[in-house]
Amino acid sequence: MRPRYFTKRYETAAQVASAARHHAWLAEHARPLRLPALTVIGPTTLTYEWIDGRPARTEDLPALAGLLGDAHGAAWTSDLRPAALNTPHRFRDGIVFGDYIGPRQTALRRRLEQGYLLDHVALHAMLTLLEKTAEGPTAFYKDSNPRNFIITEVGDVYTVDTDDLTLAPMGYDLAKLIATLVLTHGPLPAPAIDSALHAYNKAAERHDPRLGTTDRERLDDFLALHAVLTAPYAGRNGYHDSWTARPCLRGSA
C-alpha cells in the first residue's frame, strides 16, 4: 500500500520550529507515547505520516489514563524533574515550555470578559484554585482530548496534535481527557473516573513513588478548572454535551 501523509500548515516559521521541537522532545522524553513520524519540515508546513484510526471513546479511558501516567512518569524521570510549575522552563536542547500558572491566569480572566464566569468573585475563586493546584512533581500538558488520540484497528494508540506543550501538575492532562470525553459523549459514572485515576497513578508510580499520588480531590480541582477553561467550546469542535454542574459559570446554580 502506498504511504499516506498529512500536511499541517502554520502562519509563521517560528510556529513550525516550535511544533517540530515539541514533537522531537516527546519522541525522546515521553517514549510511551506513539507519535506519527514527522517526515518533512517546510518553511510553513509540517508533514506527518497518515494514521488510519478512530478518535478515543469513553471505553478507552482506562488504557489512555495508564498511557498518560506512563508518559508523564517517563518525562519526569528523563527531563522534567528540575522544572518548576510557576516559571517557564528552558531545557538543555533550548526548548521552552510555558509555565502552568501564567497562561491559565490569562485564560481565566478572559473567561470573565467573555461572560463564562459570573463575576470577579467567581474569578478570584478560580484563580485561587489554580494557585492551590500548582504544587507537586511537574508533568507536561498536551491537551489530551479524544480527537488527539488515534486508535487503529489493531488497538495501537497514536498521539497527535502535539504542537503546543506547557508544564502542568501530574494529573492535570488526565483531567482534560476526562472533561472532554464528558463534553463529547456525555457524563461518566464516578467508578469510571476512579478507575482511570487508579490506572494513571499506578503507571506513574512505576517511575517513582512520588508520581502516583494524585487523589480524587485533586483531580476534581483540575476538573473544575477545565470546566471553566473549556466553556467556550461547548457545542463546538465536536463537544456536543455540556457539564451538568459548573460552579461559578454563567447560568449555573
Angle (CA) 184 169 253, round 5°: 50
Which alpha helices (DSSP H) does the chain contain, by range? Answer: 13-29, 61-75, 101-114, 120-133, 172-185, 190-205, 216-229
Angle (CA) 194 195 201, round 5°: 90
pLDDT on residue 238: 64
pLDDT on residue 237: 64
pLDDT digits (tens, 9 = 90+) for 8-19: 999 999 999 999
Question: Would you list the DSSP string of 17-55?
Answer: HHHHHHHHHHHHH-TTS----EEEE-SSEEEEE----EE
pLDDT on residue 190: 94
Which residue stretches of the chain have pLDDT < 50? 244-253
Residue partners of 9: CB distance under 8 A and separation at least 6: 44, 45
* Structural domains of the chain in order of their starting residue, each with its CATH number: 53-233 (3.90.1200.10)
Measured in degrees and rounded to the nearest 5, phi and psi for residue 228 equal -75, -45
Which three cell numbers mark 54? 478512530
pLDDT on residue 3: 79
pLDDT on residue 81: 93
pLDDT on residue 89: 82
Sign of the C-alpha dihedral computed for residues 81, 218, 70 and 211 taken in this order = positive
